[in-house]
Amino acid sequence: MQHTSATPIAWPESIEHGQSPSLAVWKFASCDGCQLSLLDCEDELMAVAGRVAISYFPEATTAMVDGPYDVSLVEGSITTEHDAARILDIRRQSRLLVTIGACATAGGIQALRNGRDVDGFTSIVYAHPEYITTLATSTPIADHVRVDLELRGCPIDRGQLLQTLAALLNRHALRLPTTSVCIECKARQTSCVMVAHGTPCLGPVTQAGCGALCPSFHRGCYGCFGPMESPNVPALRTQLGLLGLAGVDIDRLLNTFNTTAFAELEQTQIDERAPS
């Protein structure tokens, strides 16, 4: 497993002074799955609760302590004017801001609306579209404020979340992998679904971190962790075509959880390779 080197983030001062740092968990446009990953850490949750002061976490507790907060975990994407203003306020109140999940780091599935007829969608979906105020786009948190650390995935990996909290609490360097899912797939000795079954898989262009979850259930990777460090999207597209996938199906596969990330990379790579 390969990692980015020590994450360049400033540790909250309160940790240096031996106090329990305060933690806030915020939600924007999302399904709550990433916050639930934190609640899912049953065995470890007591240890977390013992080391941090959970100051704001509506999903888990009614206690709401005013900021500022040492660490804010932010789930979800920005889809309304109100949220665009709220994230600015949260940033002001947070020493460290960590985005969690594909919505917060890449806009999420809801970013499929970007560049499409959003008014048209609302009029089809809602009985009273006039009550809906929404932006035309779903954008990642980093498009609005400075983000100190991103935890990717849909949902995030609870192991990565715990490692991040442990590194923050103990002032330990955090290294998250930036290589392909294939590395984890081979390490857990899963049989490659692409080579052995002909199942389309985004593992080779997707960042590791999930432990190659989908291939271990005989499914191709959906790319929910977003692009790995050097994704060769055009080469994977060629191979997916050889496996019998039509162009539109390849587009759909690439654009589900990280709607624009893979497509933009692909375009850059195509441009770079074009003979000048």
Partner 1 sequence: MRRWLEVESGVVSGEPSIGQPGGQPIDWWVMRAGDLHRFISLLKSEFDEVIGPVAVDGVIRLRPIESADDLPTGFTEQQETGSYRLLETGTSLRFSYGLGPDSLKSIVHPPRSPVWTMRRHDGTLIVDQALHGTTTRAVIGARACDLRALDILERTQTGGQHTDPAFAVHRQGLFLVAIDCSHPAPTCFCDTGGDGPVADHGYDIAITELDHPNGIVYLVRVGTDHGRSLIESLHLAPAPRTFLEHRDHQHRSISREFIRELPKDAAKVVRLADHPHWNDVAERCLTCGNCTAVCPTCFCTDMDDIVGLDGETATRTRVWDTCFSMEYSHLGPGPHRTSPAARYRQWLSHKLGTWHDQFGESGCVGCGRCITWCPVGIDLTAEVESLGRPVEANA
Stretch that binds partner 1, among 18-26, 74-82, 122-130, 185-193 (CB under 8 A): 185-193
**Beta 53-56 vs 149-151: how paired, if at all?**
unpaired
The answer to whether 194 contacts ligand SF4 (rule: CB under 6 A) is yes
For position 185 contacting ligand SF4 by CB under 6 A, the verdict is yes
Q: How far is CA 146 from the centre of its chain?
A: 15
Give every CB contact of residue 133 below 8 A, 6+ residues apart in sequence. 80, 81
- Torsion angle of C-alpha atoms 25, 28, 33, 37, degrees rounded to 10: -20
200 forms part of the interface with ligand SF4 (CB under 6 A): no
- Stretch in the footprint of partner 1 (CB under 8 A) among 42-50, 73-81, 84-92, 251-259: 42-50
Nearer to ligand SF4, 103 or 236 (CB): 236
Q: Is 250 in the site for ligand SF4 (CB under 6 A)?
A: no
Distance CA 139, CA 108 (A): 8
By a kind-dependent CB cut-off of 5 to 8 A, residue 212 interacts, out of ligand SF4, partner 1, none, with ligand SF4
Nearest approach in angstroms of CB 104 to partner 1 is 23
Minimum distance of partner 1 from residue 133's CB (angstroms): 41
Tokens 């916050």, located at residue = 35
Q: How far apart are CA 225 and CA 203, in angstroms?
A: 10
**Using the rule CB under 6 A, is 213 a contact of ligand SF4?**
no
Binding residue (CB under 6 A) for ligand SF4 from 149, 201, 240, 265: 201
What residue spans of the chain are helical by DSSP H? 13-16, 33-39, 42-51, 81-93, 101-106, 118-125, 158-170, 181-187, 193-197, 213-216, 233-242, 247-254, 261-273
Contact 76, 107 (CB under 8 A): no
Question: How remote is the C-alpha of 67 from its chain's centroid?
Answer: 25
Q: Show contacts with ligand SF4 in window 219-248 (CB under 6 A).
A: 221
Provide the binding-site residues for partner 1, judged by CB under 8 A.
Answer: 1-5, 44, 47-48, 51, 162-163, 165-167, 169-170, 172, 175, 178-180, 182-183, 186-192, 194-198, 201, 203-205, 218, 229-232, 234-236, 238-239, 273
- Applying CB under 6 A, the residues found at the interface with ligand SF4 are 181-182, 185, 192-194, 201, 203-204, 212, 215, 221
